[in-house]
């Protein structure tokens, strides 16, 4: 009988990272987060997994996780600590308490002794404050007899139709060796573009959508077939009612353009880097964030729906997001693309099975 390896997901949010591990064949035992609605989404979409609403700043939270996983052998801890302290878009404060949340990962690892730890974060973590956080993570891994290998991964290289760069620290027990990251599966001229990712979804131009929709187009790309995977009812695909002014501004942005392409005096209310960005049908989308006001469909004069953003994050269509629309957008934007989790999970299984 083939052993099914186990994982727990810290700072799980809705569980994009661990959902990818589930797709790779892991049994996800537990998701831990401080957002109740995100955890409801997590429980709905993970097979028989439990969710714990905890603040990982608190030492008692570690004991509660240990109690919850009692008598269970945990093979992998995966974690995506909040990245605001390291993000280029946040206020960079070296003493931001969120910067040190990765310590909770190691406090738990001391008690559960997993075979591997994977930490995901924004690229800024590598260099900000002179690389303090990166060096501390590596030091803690060495101290606990893990071999740690950090690497920047570019999501489009692995089939995700979105410009997203993140650092992954993969640490394995010394006897398992050093983790070698999977090679990219796509070349730049093969990246999945927005049209091949979401072009089969209802356009929502005349209909703002219902809680459940039927597909009204056939798939025309392999990515769309993978995302549908036999799904029949489309959820989280609600349109947004824009003012005539906003629609007029969007209409003047060319495909792949942004606020810099608008005529003088148009769209002056938003002038920052990502403002009035229209996706390009043949290219991956910009990085999906937790809001939904600055990016627009490559064809239609509206923001992408939650489902469209989820597709661009590589969530399959049967993954349902709970909560109001704002909460759903936040869950999608905070997630690690499941496809990246799946690729890493599949490679890690080979190490855990001593096939490498």
Mean per-residue pLDDT for 318-338? 96
For residue 250, which of 304, 301, 194 has the smallest C-alpha distance? 301
Which CATH number is associated with domain 6-186+336-352?
3.40.50.150
Q: Which of 83, 141, 148, 194 is catalytic?
A: 83
**The predicted structure's pLDDT at residue 88:** 42
Instruction: Give the pLDDT confidence of 225-249 residue by residue, as tens digits.
Output: 999 999 999 999 998 889 999 999 9
DSSP-assigned letters across all residues of 252-265: TSPTT--GGGSPTT
**The predicted structure's pLDDT at residue 86:** 46
For 36-95, give the secondary structure using H, E and C. Answer: HHHHHHHHHHCCCCEEEECCCCCHHHHHHHHHHCCCCCCCEEEECCCCCCCCCCCCCCCC
N-term to C-term CA, the chain: 20
**The predicted structure's pLDDT at residue 93:** 47
Asked if pLDDT for residue 274 goes beyond 80, the answer is no
**Highest mean pLDDT: which of 128-137, 165-174, 258-267, 283-292?**
165-174
Asked if pLDDT for residue 344 goes beyond 70, the answer is yes
User: What does the chain come to in residues?
Assistant: 356
**The predicted structure's pLDDT at residue 85:** 45
Query: Average per-residue pLDDT in the chain?
Result: 91
The H or E element that residue 62 is part of is helix 59-68
* Interhelix angle 128-143/102-112, nearest 10 degrees: 0
**The predicted structure's pLDDT at residue 281:** 98
Asked if pLDDT for residue 114 goes beyond 60, the answer is yes
Range name among 3-12, 84-93, 142-151, 226-235 with the lowest pLDDT average: 84-93
d(CA 178, CA 348): 11
Which pTM does this prediction carry?
0.93
> Is 3.40.50.720 the CATH number for 190-334?
no
Domain ranges of the chain: 6-186+336-352, 190-334
Query: Would residue 148 show up in a list of annotated catalytic residues for this protein?
Result: no
274's CB contacts (< 8 A; 6+ apart) are 258, 286, 294, 295
**The predicted structure's pLDDT at residue 136:** 87
**The predicted structure's pLDDT at residue 98:** 45
User: Do residues 315 and 16 touch, judged by C-beta distance below 8 A?
Assistant: yes
């Amino acid at each position: 009988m083939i052993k099914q390896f186990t994982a727990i997901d810290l700072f799980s949010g809705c569980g994009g990272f661990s959902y990818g591990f589930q797709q790779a064949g892991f049994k996800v035992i537990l998701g831990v987060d401080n957002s109740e609605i995100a955890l409801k989404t997590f429980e709905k979409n993970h097979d028989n997994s439990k969710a714990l609403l905890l603040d990982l700043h608190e030492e008692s939270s570690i004991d509660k996780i240990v109690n919850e996983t009692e008598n269970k052998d945990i093979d992998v801890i995966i974690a995506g600590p909040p990245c605001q302290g390291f993000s280029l878009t946040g206020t960079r404060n070296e003493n931001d308490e969120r910067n040190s949340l990765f310590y909770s990962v190691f406090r738990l690892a001391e008690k559960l002794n997993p075979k591997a730890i994977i930490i995901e974060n924004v690229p800024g973590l590598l260099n900000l404050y002179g690389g303090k956080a990166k060096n501390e993570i590596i030091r803690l891994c060495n101290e606990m007899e893990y071999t740690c290998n950090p690497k920047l991964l570019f999501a489009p290289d692995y089939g995700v139709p979105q410009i997203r760069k993140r650092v992954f620290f993969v640490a394995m027990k010394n006897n398992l060796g050093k983790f070698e990251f999977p090679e990219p599966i796509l070349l730049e001229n093969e990246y999945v573009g927005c049209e091949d990712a979401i072009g089969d979804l209802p356009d929502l131009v005349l209909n703002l959508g219902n809680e459940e929709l039927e597909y009204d187009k056939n798939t025309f790309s392999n990515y769309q077939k993978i995302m549908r995977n036999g799904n029949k009812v489309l959820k989280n695909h609600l349109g947004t009612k824009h003012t005539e002014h906003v629609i007029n501004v969007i209409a003047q942005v060319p495909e792949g353009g942004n606020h810099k392409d608008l005529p003088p005096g148009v769209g002056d209310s938003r002038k920052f880097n990502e403002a009035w960005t229209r996706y390009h049908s043949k290219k991956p989308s910009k990085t999906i964030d937790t809001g939904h006001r600055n990016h627009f469909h490559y064809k239609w004069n509206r923001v992408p729906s939650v489902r469209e953003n989820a597709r661009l994050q590589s969530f399959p269509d049967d993954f349902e997001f709970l909560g109001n629309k704002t909460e759903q957008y936040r869950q999608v934007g905070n997630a690690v693309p499941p496809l990246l989790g799946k690729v890493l999970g599949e490679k890690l299984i080979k190490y855990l099975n001593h096939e490498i």
